Structure 1
Amino acid sequence: MRQQILQIHPADNVIVALQDVPKGTPAGGVTALRDVPAKHKLTTTFIPQNGDVIMYGVLVGQAKEDLPPGELISTANVRHASGNFGVRAERKTDWQAPDVSTWKDRSFLGYHRSDGRVGTGNYWIILPLVFCENRNVQLLHETLTKGLGYQKGNPYESLLQEMLHGGKHTSQAESASSRPFPQVTGIKLLTHTMGCGCTKDDARTLCGILAGYVTHPNVAGATVLSLGCQNAQVAMLREEIEKRSPGYDRPLVILEQQQEGTEKLLIEQAMRQTFDGLAKANAQERKPAPLSKLIVGMECGGSDGFSGISANPAVGKVADRIVALGGSVILSEFPELCGVEQELSDRCVNTGLAEKYTGLMKTYAARAEAVGSGFDSNPSAGNIRDGLITDAIKSAGAARKGGSSPVTDVIDYPGWVQRPGLALLCTPGSDVESTTAEVGAGANVVLFTTGLGTPTGNPVTPVLKLSTNSRLAAKMPDIIDLDTGPIINGDETLEQAADRIMELLISSASGHYTAKAQLLEQDDFIPWKRGVSL
């Protein structure tokens, strides 16, 4: 019989309904006082007004009123609360690494770069240094993708033709084998709304994240168009590129419109130089690489009440395996680490990193409060409807994506991964901004968990979507790459789910599997302007 409820941690005084629990039904030693929908929580003991609500073994809320055993918790009777945190002298970095004997001799087929990193793709990117150039880069991108066989036919063109004329119309992209540059995975466009009318710090930050993409292991080369007079200067971009990849040697085209003159001269120069760069990029081929060359971003979006007990902990198992194999893992979304700060601080390999992490968390929280908000505003309406009623509940489940290994680095945006192990990257909880930042930090694959469904992707890195429940996987198969719902149903263990995720990860990294977000060309790119974004 399918399990009805789950107590996640022995110290918890609330339990999760794995299926609908009707009023009057015995569950977990108590009787439900009202209907409890699946994914929501009910109390196991009496919790007095202002008493602590404990889940995942940590403080996740406080009761607004007396809560008897068997009560459904909601935003009406529980408010957000989280524990205090700081830096302790004692480090909790003893770690039982998982057995990775099954994976230690495995490899993936990737593009080897001269800086030692390995790409899971071989993209050419086209980007503006300032928003004034968005039209020009779009024109350049459209011309190249159409002419070189990268532009996919719009799947709705045939429907429109049928509506207009009662006829049929199909439009299909050329196959990779018929393209003049078959080893170039794609030509991707990265537009934004920044680069001028901003502070010098904002300009530097933008140049940093753009440099993260130019030097990314999945990127074979880049074309950058600048206007010339903006705050984000070419020299600034070159400095950021050199920081990330000293002696950068991949093809790089940088042109300024105010130097070139007319649009026609600018676009013609860009096309000629980009064409030459594509020919050089086409010389790259996939070759075997150890799994230690994987840099895996851990992300979530559209989370639900099952996220913290199915997809997230399964991804956490994968994170531990990647770390044990010598690879790198990125855990971001700082507003969604609220309530687990002390655990993560204690896991930092030294007090310097712990101080950096806690400092970033406190600064972020203070900035949110200064504009009349706070981390408690993070859960979306959809999160709340599906059982994540406080930010601390959401965060305690979200943090499980990072596994249990020691924290070897703390990175402030728009920094990048420089050592193996688990890194904490300061980003918003907004999934597109956070995914953009993780890839800018070097993630060559992203594992993205979702319980409600979101199409988020990235221009240069595969974003593999993992559903927390089987109902979502069946409802939205066009965006879900793997279903972890069998964990909830009791048909699969976390370890078994992690095995499936590992295989998908390797297949995607090798180019054998195309992520659903890639098939849909869901090329989301939103740089974070260092303000309050939850």
Structure 2
Amino acid sequence: MSNRYVQIDPRDNLIVAIQDLKKNEEISVADTILVLKEDVQAKHKFALQDLAEGDLVYMYGVLVGKATTAIEQGRSITVRNMKHASAEYSGKREKKHWVGPDVSKWQGRTFNGYHRADGKVGTGNYWIVFALTFCENRNLDVLKAALTESLGYQTEKDYVVNTEELVRVMQRGGGQEDILNTEIIKSQEEIIKNRVFPNVDGIKILRHEGGCGGTRADSEVLCNLLAGYLTNPNVAGATVLSLGCQNAQIEVLEEAIKKKDSNFSKPLHILEQQQSKSERSFIEGAVKMTFIGLQEVNKLERKPAPLSKLVLGLECGGSDGFSGISANPSLGYASDILAALGGSPVLSEFPELNGVEQELIDRCVEEKDAEKFSALMKAYGDKAIAVGSGFESNPSPGNIKDGLITDAMKSAGAAKKGGTSPISEVLDYTESVTKPGLNLLCTPGNDVESTTGLAGSGCNLIVFTTGLGTPTGNPVVPVVKLSSNNKLSEKMKDVIDVNAGTVISGEDTIESKGEELFEYLIQVASGEVVPHAVRLGHDDFIPWKRDISL
């Protein structure tokens, strides 16, 4: 990669500026020498050759757009001279042969995780509390106030002000000097150290706005998602609140759990408010049953597990013009390492696979999965059109500002997160990962809806690549942030865990950065390193209603 510009694929007629380039600067790419007709900002693209109106535009070796006006060689590509265009796709056209990376250095390696009765292994040990309807959200807030800080799970801040200590000083008859000399600030480290249940990583409240008032289908999907959280290997047990009359009935949840795990044995306490004596009794029972459950799951300890037990969610958000050439392919290489070791990487965000469908179809091991992926993409695209939108509406203003002009361009870079390995299975939203190898999971491009879905399908780790920065996390699955550029890594040190900007600056290769990331993931999986999203309590949870969401 040149330290100033790069042609990603020999078939590309777009060139990416790695640094800010100036008008009249001479550019040499392959057998072409050109002079820039204008300044080109870093992350943006310029034309390698003259393009006439209607000419097709390629990047990453795939179709990413169409010229809407004549574009001179050496001019910037913008929303004013190019629009979205993507390649047609059909059934499998060729059989792919995959040669995976050398994984000999990881053969026999383990991580320390929590072993579950169903054979899965968690990278964390969480107790979750959720309701079957939004009507119970206020009661969830009461439970959060009762259970988190007092038991040592206040994670939204680096410290907590313990005013109760001042009350105790006053009650003992202490004066002004005693009050001024009393330590009332507890650091997060102190809180964690003094946790009542040291082997429980958190008590997580899953707050949502569904379960009733919408369609029955949406309530059933919600129950499937919540069942996915209950069976996620990072979850040890749960407290569930039900009002009683909502669409998302207890029986619907229990049936969804049974479909995912017929031998489900985790502690599960379900309380129904309309069957309780009073709200006070209802809340009291929920707190006490949760406390009993916490005592039980606190007995669990981390033990060695093979790396094949890792189920890695592949996510991106706040993407920029460097995401597809640094962070995403680095994650893709780590994904290939995991696939070669028998683990399960999971690529989501179907609107951001628009334009690379044929490549993914050809990578499907089984014809039924190729057909399923094609059907899901077509149905999703048709629904977008039906509500007056389309995949072409996906890039956000931030994406466009930082060089991602069309959805196909964004998608071609986003798909790099999935590496090059064969696709072992295609899953619809809330379906569980059961096979080793790369899985495709239908989720929206909405970051939080997608990460919520990844956890609901069984991921026990998630890597989130970003070029602009984002605080997104998940309540029960550690989310590792991988930046695409050095500037972001420096600017948002409290959010970024690993920096792939060194690929752009030439200090690393895709392979070396992928290996570094994979080693970091082993540490996170073992509880040796806490990602920033976990430390800061970024517990985002938004179920996807199957209405259109891009």
Q: Give the TM-score range, shorter chain.
A: over 0.9
Matched ranges for 1:423-438 at <5 A: 423-438=439-454
Q: What does residue 415 of structure 1 align with?
A: 431
Asked if residue 31 in structure 1 is aligned to residue 47 in structure 2, the reply is no
1:146 corresponding residue in structure 2: 149
Q: 1:114 aligns with which of 103, 117, 128?
A: 117
Q: 1:5, 1:28 within 8 Å by CA — same for their partners in 2?
A: no
1:170 and 2:185 correspond: yes
What residue number does 1:12 align with? 12
CA contact (8 A) 1:127 1:225 kept: yes
Does residue 479 (structure 1) correspond to residue 478 (structure 2)? The answer is no
**Hey, what's the Cα distance between the residues in 2 that align with 1:52 and 1:152?**
50
Code of the residue aligned with 2:150 in structure 1: it is G
Q: Distance in 1 between matches of 2:47 and 2:94?
A: 33
- In the alignment, which residue of structure 1 is the partner of 2:341? 325
Alpha-carbon distance between aligned partners in 2 of 1:12 and 1:197, rounded to the nearest angstrom:
50
Superimposed CA distance per residue, residues 329-362 of structure 1 (whole angstroms, 9 cap, x where no aligned partner): 1100000000000100111112211110011001
Aligned partner (choices 441, 461, 475) of residue 457 of structure 2: 441
Deviation digits for residues 165-211 of structure 1 (CA, Å, limit 9, x no counterpart): 9x996243544443221111110110000000111111110001111
Shift in Å, 1:106: 1.2
Separation (CA, whole Å) in 1 of partners of 2:136 and 2:253:
16
Q: Distance in 1 between matches of 2:126 and 2:96?
A: 38
Distance 1:347 1:153, change over 3 A: closer
Moved over 6 A (4+): none
Are the equivalent residues in 1 in contact too, given 2:159–2:186 (CA < 8 A)? no
Mapping 1:67-82, distance limit 5 Å? 67-82=71-86
1:28 is paired with a residue whose SS is strand
Distance 1:304 1:151 in 2: 33
Q: Is the 8 A contact 2:159 2:185 kept in 1?
A: no
Unaligned residue ranges in structure 1 (runs of 5+): none
Shift of 1:137: 1.5
Q: State whether structure 2 residue 233 is matched by structure 1 residue 213.
A: no
Deviations along 1:492-529, one digit per CA (max 9) or x if unpaired, are 11111011101110000000000100111010000001
Task: Select which of 131, 134, 143 maps to 2:134.
Answer: 131
Tell me what 1:254 maps to: 270
The answer to whether the Cα contact below 8 Å between 1:45 and 1:70 also exists between their aligned partners in 2 is: yes
> Residues 271-306 of structure 1, C-alpha deviation per residue, up to 9 Å, x if partnerless?
121111111101110000010000000000000000
Q: Distance in 2 between matches of 1:225 and 1:119?
A: 24
Alignment length, in residue pairs?
A: 527
- Structure 2 counterpart of 1:59: 63
Task: Please tell me whether the aligned partners of residues 302 and 453 of structure 1 are also in contact (alpha carbons under 8 angstroms).
Answer: yes
Q: Distance in 2 between matches of 1:67 and 1:150?
A: 57
Q: Give the distance between the partners of 1:186 and 1:285, measured in 2 at CA.
A: 14
Q: Which amino acid aligns with 1:307?
A: S
Q: What are the residue-to-residue correspondences of 1:493-532 with 2, within 5 Å? A: 493-532=509-548
The residue that corresponds to 1:387 in the other structure is 403
- State the alpha-carbon separation in 1 of the partners of residues 96 and 452 from structure 2: 29
- The alignment status of 1:230 with 2:246, answered yes or no, reads yes
1:301 is the counterpart of 2:304: no
Note the C-alpha offset of 1:150.
1.5
**3-state SS of 2:368 partner:** helix
**What are the within-5 Å matches in structure 2 for residues 390-401 of structure 1?**
390-401=406-417
For normalisation by structure 2, the TM-score amounts to 0.93
**Matched position secondary structure for 2:185:** coil
**1:193 aligned partner:** 209
Q: Is the 8 A contact 1:450 1:466 kept in 2?
A: yes
Hey, what does 2:173 align to over in structure 1?
none
Deviation at 1:2, TM superposition (A): 6.1
SS at match of 1:523: coil
Change (3 A) 1:511 1:44: same
Q: Does 1:470 align with 2:479?
A: no
Q: Are the aligned partners of 2:156 and 2:538 in contact in 1 as well (CA < 8 Å)?
A: no
The letter of the residue matching 1:146 is: E
CA distance in 2, matches of 1:14, 1:153: 44
- Post-superposition offset of 1:96: 0.5
1:454 maps to 2:488:
no
Distance 2:79 2:211 in 1: 41
Q: SS in structure 2 opposite 1:277?
A: helix
| Aligned mates of 2:438, 2:49 — CA distance in 1 | 37
Q: Which amino acid aligns with 2:7?
A: Q
Give the Cα–Cα distance (whole angstroms) in 1 for the partners of residues 158 and 235 of structure 2. 27
Structure 1 residue 69: Cα displacement: 1.1
Measure, in 2, the Cα distance between the counterparts of 1:86 and 1:233: 40
Q: Provide the C-alpha distance between the structure 1 equivalents of 2:54 and 2:155, rounded to a whole number of angstroms.
A: 57
Task: Read off the aligned partner of 1:440 and give its amino acid letter.
Answer: G
Shift of 1:153: 7.4
Separation of aligned partners in 2, 1:524 and 1:87: 37
* Cα distance in 2 between the residues matched to 1:2 and 1:334: 32
Structure 2: state its 5+ residue gaps.
164-179
Contact 1:152 1:172 (C-alpha < 8 Å) held by counterparts: no
Letter in 2 for 1:57: G
Percent identity of equivalent pairs = 55
Distance 1:169 1:273 in 2: 31
Rounded Cα–Cα distance in structure 2 between residues aligned with 1:313 and 1:152: 32
In the alignment, which residue of structure 2 is the partner of 1:402?
Answer: 418
Match of 1:46 in 2: 50
Q: How far, CA to CA, are the matches of 1:355 and 1:108 in structure 2?
A: 36
Q: Could you say which residue in structure 1 is the equivalent of 2:97?
A: 94
2:174 matched to which residue of 1? none
The amino acid across from 1:135 in the alignment is R
CA distance in 1, matches of 2:524, 2:293: 26
| Residue type at the aligned position of 2:217 | D
Q: Deviations over 1:75-95 (max 9, x none)?
A: 00000000111113x443310
* TM-score (normalizing by structure 1): 0.96
- The answer to whether the Cα contact below 8 Å between 2:160 and 2:187 also exists between their aligned partners in 1 is no
Q: 1:178 to 1:169 in 2, by over 3 A?
A: closer
